[in-house]
Amino acid sequence: MVPQTDKQEYAFSTCWNIKRHAADGKGMIEEIKELGFRRVELNYNVTERHMETIEPMIERGEIGVSSVHNVFPFVNDPDYGTDSVLLGFDDPVKRKRAVELLLGSMEHAHRYGAQAVVVHPGEVPFEHNIDAELKALYRGQGRESSAYRELWAVMLERRERLAPAYLRTIRESLEEACNIAARKQWNVAVGIETRSRCYQMPTLTEAKEICSQLAGAGVYLWYDIGHATMMERMGLYDNGEQLAGVLPYIYGVHIHETVELSDHWCPYIHSGDEADFDRFLPAIAQATVKVYELKAACTPHEIHESHRKMTSKLDKLNRQEEEAV
C-alpha cells in the first residue's frame, strides 16, 4: 500500500478510474480519496447512476468538486460528444441543443460548488479523421517526411479557411450560455480546453481571441498540458513562443505528460525527462484550478512520485520569484 499524502489544492479527474467503476460512483470517489485528493473533476463519462452515490458524498462534505467536464452528466449522442462540432454547429437546432447541454453542465457545477466547467468548444469538421492519418505518418515516417508535410498542408489549408466562421459561432454560443448563467447567478467559469486533434479548437491564438472578445463573461482558457504538447509536436502551435501570452487567460489546467504522441501520463515519470515539463510550471502555478488528468495505466506509486517531483519544483520556482522581488 502506498502511503496517502495530502494533495491539498490539487484535484483529480475521474477519467483515471471510471472504467473500473462502471456503475459504482462511491467506490470510484473513495479510490481517488485514497490517493490523498480532497477534490475531483467529474469527467464527461460520469453518469446519472454514478451521481446517485456521489451526490450524497458531496452533500456530506466527504469530497469536493473542482470542476465538471461538459457534457455532464454523460449524454450518449456523438453529435454532442467530446469530438464534435458542438458549440460551433451552423444548424440552429443542434447549436441550441449544444448550448442547453452546456447550461446543464454549468447548473450541475453550481449545485456542487465547483469553480469551473471544462468545455471542448468545437472543431473544423473533416469527412474523415485526418488527425489519425497524420499521427500514423508522424509515428511511421516522421514529421519531416514529405508524406506528413503534404497531408499537413491539406489539413492546415482547410482548417485556416473555415476556422473563422466556426470560431464566430462558438463565441456566440459561449456568450449566450454565459449571459443566461449570469442571470441565474451561477458563479462558474467556463474553460475552453486545448485539444488533442489538429483540426479541433482552440489553438492558443484562437483561445486568446475568444477570451479577449468575451472579457468579463466568465470565459477562460483551460490549458491541457498534454494536449498542448501533442499539438506542438505535430506543428500546430509553439508553446514556448505562445504560452507566456496566454497565461493571463488561463483559469484551469489539466496536468499530464505526453510521451511521443501518447498523453495522460504522469509528469516526469513516464517520459524519464527531468526538465522538459518544467516549462509548464508557470501555467500550473498561476491556474486557479489544478487537475490531474491521468490514464488508468498510471499507478498510485507513480502518481505520488510525480506529484512529489512537480510540487518540489514548483516550491523552488516560488522561492526564486520571491527572492527576485
**Whether pLDDT at 150 is above 50:** yes
pLDDT at 4: 62
Please say whether the beta carbons of 171 and 207 come within 8 A. no
- Give the span between the Cα atoms of 71 and 68, in whole angstroms: 8
Q: Which has more pLDDT, 322 or 151?
A: 151
Q: At what angle do helices 239-246 and 225-234 cross, to 10 degrees?
A: 140
User: Is the CATH number of domain 11-319 3.40.47.10?
Assistant: no
pLDDT at 86: 97
- Give the span between the Cα atoms of 109 and 122, in whole angstroms: 21
Q: Per-residue pLDDT tens for 32-83? A: 999 999 999 999 999 999 999 999 999 999 999 999 999 999 999 999 999 9
* Confidence tier at 325 by pLDDT (50, 70, 90): low
DSSP characters for 126-143? -SS-HHHHHHHHHHHT-T
pLDDT at 2: 43
DSSP 8-state class, residue 179: H
For the segment 167-186, the average pLDDT, to the nearest whole number, is 98
Domain boundaries, the chain: 11-319
**Whether pLDDT at 3 is above 50:** no
* Confidence tier at 180 by pLDDT (50, 70, 90): very high
Could you tell me whether strands 200-201 and 262-265 are parallel, antiparallel, or unpaired per DSSP bridges? unpaired
User: Cis link prior to 73 (omega < 30° from 0)?
Assistant: yes
User: Whole-number mean pLDDT of the chain?
Assistant: 96
Q: Which has more pLDDT, 1 or 95?
A: 95
Q: Per-residue pLDDT tens for 243-275? A: 999 999 999 999 999 999 999 999 999 999 999
**Whether pLDDT at 14 is above 90:** yes
- Give the span between the Cα atoms of 15 and 28, in whole angstroms: 10
User: What pTM was computed for the model?
Assistant: 0.96
